[in-house]
Amino acid sequence: MNCMVCGNIWYWHRTPFLPYALCPECGTSRLSKLAKFDKIDRRSKSIIRGFLGLFGVTIYHCTFCRLQFRDYRDLNPERKSKVQF
């Protein structure tokens, strides 16, 4: 679904109900876990994802859009971790 004002794609309507974590911006499952936030890449500005930090949930990093975010779900065990040629 695209935003009528800016044209960005909305993924929020499907991500809370999935069993595995996805990037909230691009929707990919190719994520990596981080021990702490990186100072270079950008963080999610979502208030809800910031609130999850109080509970100590995992920090994920999207390899495509370089977004760091918190999510309470685990990674998909069937995801492709590296690109194969």
Distance between alpha carbon 85 and the CA centroid of its chain, in Å?
25
* Tally of residues, the chain: 85
Q: How many CB atoms lie within 10 A of CB 10?
A: 11
pLDDT value, residue 59 = 94
Q: Which two tokens stand for residue 31?
A: 């994520």
Q: Which two tokens stand for residue 12?
A: 């929020």
- The domain containing residue 74 runs over which residues? 1-85
- Mean pLDDT for the chain overall: 80
Res. 34 pLDDT band, cuts 50 70 90: very high
Task: Identify which of 74, 37, 33 has the alpha carbon closest to the alpha carbon of residue 53.
Answer: 37
Q: What is the pLDDT of residues 38-53, one digit of tens each?
A: 899 999 888 888 888 8
Res. 63 pLDDT band, cuts 50 70 90: confident
| Reported pTM | 0.73
Domains in the chain, number: 1
Q: Which residue has the higher pLDDT, 78 or 69?
A: 69
